[in-house]
Structure 1
Amino acid sequence: METNSLEKEQKINRLLNSQPSGVVYLSSWLTENGFSTQLLNRYKKSNWLYSIGTGAWMRVGEEPGYEGAIYALQQQCDQSIHLGGKTALSLLGKAHYLELSAQQVIVFGGSKEKLPAWFTNYDWGVKVNYFSTSFLPAKVGLQDLERGNFSLKISNPIRALMECLYLAPKKQDLVECYEIMQGLNNLRPNQVYDLLKQCTSIKVKRLFLYMGEKSNHDWFKYMDAEKIDIGKGKRSLVKDGVYIAKYAITVPKALAEYE
């Protein structure tokens, strides 16, 4: 009996140590690795684990953070949910004037991906704004970012700005998007081109190309922008704006006149 108990103790120890500290443990992943709900409840009683909601556990002595929760969704159930938009740009140092310690974070996931109830019900100390969309392919345009004990997949600068443009103008200011674009002077033309080719949002493609050209960046000159399909017909993003004939979009006057 004691040997069996010791073996189980070593088994849970090995499993818990297989994940970095600060990471959430998903019940689905624990079950796949041989730990039944009954066994997990026993570990809870033994003060090894504690529940942060149905389907999610933490090691006793560790506090959960939203980044450790996103890591679990990425690594333990292979989801494309990631930090994106302005949050990713801030973390990458591409939006210095943006409030990094803002009480809001932007998270993107695929059109069929939802944040689980344990995630949405938990108080992370920040407001999590989740956007489920497939205007860009899942897992394309992501990069690794070290976050203490683990590495998190977040949007690279190109994808992050496209995500900002996807949210504009209702949930993201277009002038702010342009200010971010001005700072992205060392992008790789082939990477920009590849992501634009795979983007299905006409609005995002038109705005990205318009802002890239307006910024006069070298990478824009080396990119075959003419081959990007920007659809047909006029798109009015704001009322009483300025019409940009080349890209058939109406943008805010403040953006059109921005030097």
Structure 2
Amino acid sequence: MQLQPYGTVLLSSWLSGKGYSPELQKRYRSSKWLESIGTGAMKRTGDKVDIEGALYAMQNQVGMSLHIGAGSALALQGRSHYLEMGKKEIILFGQEGEKLPKWFMTYPWDSVLNYYSSAFLPPDLGLIEHETRNFKVKISGPARAILECLYLAPKEMALMECYELMEGINNLRPSSVQELLESCSSVKVKRLFLFMAKKVAHSWYKHINLSKIDLGKGKRSILPGGIYVPEFEITVPKELIDYGTTL
């Protein structure tokens, strides 16, 4: 019990691995030391847990790659200027094949959860530690978060929103961006990322070695009726091409 910080979820499977049998866990619940928050998950009685406390358990007790990503990760780092109305949305990413337990998705958190599983990036690359109260959780660093935003675009996230977020990440290390782009399996994401970074004219862009990045072959239409960009062989909305230009 002392191994896990207050404010975090305690998974039954993890407790069993530490020698606390299901019978002993049941006795703890009967004694009001622990209380269930769903099948396979508990918290200390009287303790308040939030989504970060649940995320801590999934990352540290069962080793899932689950993390806060895309625009939600940028917001935690103060890099998003979009104001959310009503209940906050949390975007979560995990590796393809990872399934979240029912309690995680149905517990009445303060936020609405949107979970995406994908293998377009390696599970641990580009993550950073985010401190929340008395513990830390892994979230996407700025470069990975933008790549995740572009993975969701244009269906789940507007391209213009992605571009405006890209404008705010001007202090990236070229080597970390290079590694992410070389490891990324989505041609669409890589082409959009490079197109936007060049358009913004970030200083780190000129240090990216494009010859080492597999950009695939053939044209890609991101949205129908857009303007073709020959350098990256993508068709993007006219408003994105025109954005930032003066008459």
Instruction: Specify the SS of the correspondent of 1:140.
Output: coil
Structure-2 residue corresponding to 1:131? 116
State which structure, 1 or 2, has the greater radius of gyration over its C-alpha atoms: 1
2-structure distance, mates of 1:64, 1:151: 14
Quick check: 2:229–2:235 contact (8 Å CA) kept in 1? yes
Instruction: Specify the SS of the correspondent of 1:94.
Output: coil
Question: Is residue 37 from structure 1 mapped to residue 22 from structure 2 by the alignment?
Answer: yes
2-structure distance, mates of 1:128, 1:52: 17
Q: Which runs of 5+ in 2 are unaligned?
A: none
CA drift at 1:37: 0.9
Instruction: Specify the SS of the correspondent of 1:17.
Output: coil
Q: Which runs of 5+ in 1 are unaligned?
A: 1-15
Structure-2 residue corresponding to 1:256? 241
TM normalised by structure 1 equals: 0.92
Pick one of 173, 186, 192 that aligns with 1:188: 173
2-structure distance, mates of 1:29, 1:101: 35
Structure-2 residue corresponding to 1:53? 38
Question: Is residue 232 from structure 1 mapped to residue 217 from structure 2 by the alignment?
Answer: yes
Question: Is residue 222 from structure 1 mapped to residue 207 from structure 2 by the alignment?
Answer: yes
Structure-2 residue corresponding to 1:246? 231
Structure-2 residue corresponding to 1:164? 149
AA in 2 matched with 1:232: K
CA drift at 1:100: 9.2
Instruction: Specify the SS of the correspondent of 1:89.
Output: helix
2-structure distance, mates of 1:96, 1:21: 31
Structure-1 residue corresponding to 2:60? 75
**Which whole-Å deviations, capped at 9, do the CAs of 1:131-184 have from their partners, x for residues lacking one?**
000100011110001000110100000000000000000000101111111111
Question: Is residue 119 from structure 1 mapped to residue 104 from structure 2 by the alignment?
Answer: yes
Instruction: Specify the SS of the correspondent of 1:214.
Output: helix
Instruction: Specify the SS of the correspondent of 1:124.
Output: coil
AA in 1 matched with 2:234: I
**Which whole-Å deviations, capped at 9, do the CAs of 1:41-76 have from their partners, x for residues lacking one?**
111110100000000000001122111001100000
2-structure distance, mates of 1:142, 1:231: 26
Instruction: Specify the SS of the correspondent of 2:59.
Output: helix
Closer/same/farther in 2, CA of residues 184 and 107 from structure 1, 3 Å limit: same
1-structure distance, mates of 2:170, 2:142: 11
2-structure distance, mates of 1:248, 1:139: 30
Closer/same/farther in 2, CA of residues 97 and 121 from structure 1, 3 Å limit: closer
Quick check: 2:87–2:112 contact (8 Å CA) kept in 1? no
Question: Is residue 92 from structure 1 mapped to residue 110 from structure 2 by the alignment?
Answer: no
Quick check: 2:92–2:116 contact (8 Å CA) kept in 1? yes
Residue-pair matches, total: 244
Please state which structure has a larger fraction of its residues in helix: 1
TM normalised by structure 2 equals: 0.96
2-structure distance, mates of 1:119, 1:97: 26
CA drift at 1:125: 2.4
